[in-house]
Amino acid sequence: MLTIKRLSIDEAHHLITGARLKAEEIGVPMCIAVVDESGNLIAFERMNGGKVTSITIAQDKAFTAGAARKATHEYNKACVPGNLAFGIHTAIGGRLCVVGGGLPVTIDGEVVGGIGLSSGTPDQDMVCAQAGIDYLQQQMG
Amino acid sequence: MLTIKRLSIDEAHHLITGARLKAEEIGVPMCIAVVDESGNLIAFERMNGGKVTSITIAQDKAFTAGAARKATHEYNKACVPGNLAFGIHTAIGGRLCVVGGGLPVTIDGEVVGGIGLSSGTPDQDMVCAQAGIDYLQQQMG
Amino acid sequence: MLTIKRLSIDEAHHLITGARLKAEEIGVPMCIAVVDESGNLIAFERMNGGKVTSITIAQDKAFTAGAARKATHEYNKACVPGNLAFGIHTAIGGRLCVVGGGLPVTIDGEVVGGIGLSSGTPDQDMVCAQAGIDYLQQQMG
Amino acid sequence: MLTIKRLSIDEAHHLITGARLKAEEIGVPMCIAVVDESGNLIAFERMNGGKVTSITIAQDKAFTAGAARKATHEYNKACVPGNLAFGIHTAIGGRLCVVGGGLPVTIDGEVVGGIGLSSGTPDQDMVCAQAGIDYLQQQMG
């Protein structure tokens, strides 16, 4: 039997809160998604003004990061023509997202979920995703 | 130019809070989704123990109620073989959901969004969806 | 070689105009779609207040009627459990629509396209679809 | 509660008229789509001779421009291998379109919808999309 560690809804809310605070600080309304270690959505928030296209993209970034246990910007680096990983961006009907802004959430060395942001530039999305993780870690002491 | 009224993220959170409190009261962990008047997701929460299948179903109930401005259980009533509305349950790739648990959110006579619940029986889902709307209305005074 | 008769864009506009005038008369803002004899969209209009869910449904009704050369309410009649046609409503990913409101457009005994309406009751949708066809026939003298 | 500005059907028709006039001028029959600020279709027209593939592409260009509030050719510029935005072209099941020809429609500094053209070269599509916007602005005085 396996025992799986998984983000709780309260921890998911901490991730979203941290990401939202950073998004407000940089002045970019975002879509923010948090999934569990199986890639399934736990919580989602579209800030007032977040883009409609980002509803799906934020979720797909979180899905990719949580379920594949790899940041979407790392996939991006590998996903260049001529590289054997190229083409991964069309996998799973395009749900495997290689645009920067999705990060796995790792606690005690284990990936327990993923966070994905969308509506800013990939760099802005990545900064806010990381802020979510930092905030969660502060809350967990 | 048209002028449209739409739920804000704070109002979406009130809807979720009210639905969650009722779900806790009846002891059924739920997936809870809130969309705007165009059917686009604003906020989502899967309570600890909410069903994975309900992630999509709650969103589709909210989508149906908000975008079609009709409760999903009303579609259910009309969607019986021999009735001219039969078959509506497979529309939009099955996203048009006729299972009870999706309610339009109406403020001052205008539909401004929708709420969808899933993980309990349809009756439980409907009670919690209504509790979300009641809670929002209390908060709006 | 085959020679195919197909609605022109001007004729598609006549169909939409006739349907819209009837929709205004009965006070129900509609989504109105017209396809050609191959089921491909020629023209679409969402009246102010037409439902978002109806964008897809109106198109699927027109698609069904034009491409299958049969009114959607006729499919509806046949699509009852126990009948061998039952299940047709989930075909083509649910695009084959059996909800009333889609009519083939027949000129000189040949189906040259289809019209689909959605946002009202199936009966209202059907009345407006027929009004579109009547208007086209008047315009064609 | 948020208050949103959205294109009306009359304004959508102005956009299509302006785009069609330019398409006729350059002699390229086009598919022309207009969506609202949430990315939902308001109006569509396939000129006689417009390509069947363009039915979807025009709609996806309009969807992208309106819902993401960014021209599709700007996404195109950012969507190159090695760039962190690469891969965005497969997002949302490929509906996020990075081919030139989709423009947001901005009135008084607010994006109120989007227009998408397809059937010509991207440059031709862009010219006609812009002509639609110019025509709308003339009509609005």
Which residue carries 């495997």 as its tokens? A96
The upper half-sphere exposure of residue C94, i.e. CA atoms within 13 Å in the direction of its Cβ, equals 15
What is residue C132's predicted lDDT score, i.e. its pLDDT?
Answer: 98
What is residue A81's predicted lDDT score, i.e. its pLDDT?
Answer: 96
Whether residues D6 and B1 touch (CB distance < 8 A) is answered with yes
What is residue D96's predicted lDDT score, i.e. its pLDDT?
Answer: 98
Using one digit for the tens of pLDDT, what is the confidence trace for B5-56?
999 999 999 999 999 999 999 999 999 999 999 999 999 999 999 999 999 9
Out of D40, D46, D52, whose CB is closest to C43?
A: D46
Q: Which domains does chain D have, with CATH numbers?
A: 9-139 (3.30.450.150)
Is D2 an interface residue toward A (CB < 8 Å)? yes
Whether residues C41 and D44 touch (CB distance < 8 A) is answered with yes
What is residue A141's predicted lDDT score, i.e. its pLDDT?
Answer: 83
Out of D38, D42, D48, whose CB is closest to C9?
A: D48
Whether residues B45 and A40 touch (CB distance < 8 A) is answered with no
The total number of residues written for chain D in this structure: 141
Which residues are bridge partners to B35 per DSSP?
B41, B114
8 Å CB contact between D16 and D59: no
Whether residues B86 and C89 touch (CB distance < 8 A) is answered with yes
8 Å CB contact between C3 and C79: no
φ/ψ of residue B117, rounded to 5: -125, 145
Mean pLDDT, residues C44-73 taken together: 98
Q: Which residues of chain A have pLDDT under 70?
A: none
| CB-based touch B/A (3+ pairs, under 8 A) | yes
- Closest chain A CA to residue B39: A52
8 Å CB contact between C128 and C121: no
Whether residues B3 and D8 touch (CB distance < 8 A) is answered with no
8 Å CB contact between D34 and D63: no
Taking CA C62 as the corner, what is the angle to CA D97 and CA C27, rounded to the nearest 5 degrees? Answer: 100
C55-69 burial, b at 16+ Cβ within 10 Å, e below that, comes to bbbbbbbbbbbbbbe
Check residue A91 and report its DSSP letter: G
Is A47 an interface residue toward B (CB < 8 Å)? yes
What is residue B141's predicted lDDT score, i.e. its pLDDT?
Answer: 84
Whether residues A45 and B42 touch (CB distance < 8 A) is answered with yes
Which residue carries 């099941």 as its tokens? D93
Distance CA D48, CA D22 (A): 15
Amino acid code (one letter) for C89: H
Using one digit for the tens of pLDDT, what is the confidence trace for D107-126?
999 999 999 999 999 999 99
Mean pLDDT, residues C70-86 taken together: 97
Is D96 an interface residue toward B (CB < 8 Å)? no
Q: What's the burial of B115, exposed, middle or buried (CB within 10 Å: 0-12/13-18/19+)?
A: buried
Whether residues D46 and C46 touch (CB distance < 8 A) is answered with no
Q: What is the share, in percent, of chain A residues with pLDDT greater than 70?
A: 100
* Distances from the Cα of D47 to the Cα of A127, B105, D55, angstroms: 46, 39, 10
| CB-based touch A/D (3+ pairs, under 8 A) | yes
Is C47 an interface residue toward D (CB < 8 Å)? yes
Sequence-separated (6 or more) residues with CB below 8 Å from residue B42: A45, A46, B7, B9, B12, B34, B35, B36, B113
Is C22 an interface residue toward D (CB < 8 Å)? no
Q: How far is CA A84 from the centre of its chain?
A: 24
Contacts of D7 in chain B (CB under 8 A): 1-2
How close does chain B come to C83, measured CA to CA in Å?
A: 11
Distance CA B65, CA B126 (A): 12
Using one digit for the tens of pLDDT, what is the confidence trace for D32-85?
999 999 999 999 999 999 999 999 999 999 999 999 999 999 999 999 999 999
Distance CA D2, CA B53 (A): 31
* Distances from the Cα of C19 to the Cα of B17, C22, D42, angstroms: 43, 5, 16
- Closest chain C CA to residue B92: C56
DSSP notation for D77-92: HH-STTSTTTTGGGTG
Residue D141 has pLDDT above 90, yes or no: no
Q: Is the ipTM of this complex over 0.95?
A: yes
Is A14 an interface residue toward B (CB < 8 Å)? no
Q: Two tokens at C63? A: 């698609």
Using one digit for the tens of pLDDT, what is the confidence trace for B46-93?
999 999 999 999 999 999 999 999 999 999 999 999 999 999 999 999
Beta strands in C12-87 (DSSP E): 31-36, 41-46
Whether residues C45 and D8 touch (CB distance < 8 A) is answered with no
- Closest chain C CA to residue D39: C52
Is D15 an interface residue toward B (CB < 8 Å)? no
Give the residue from D62, D79, D81 showing the smallest Cα distance to D70: D62
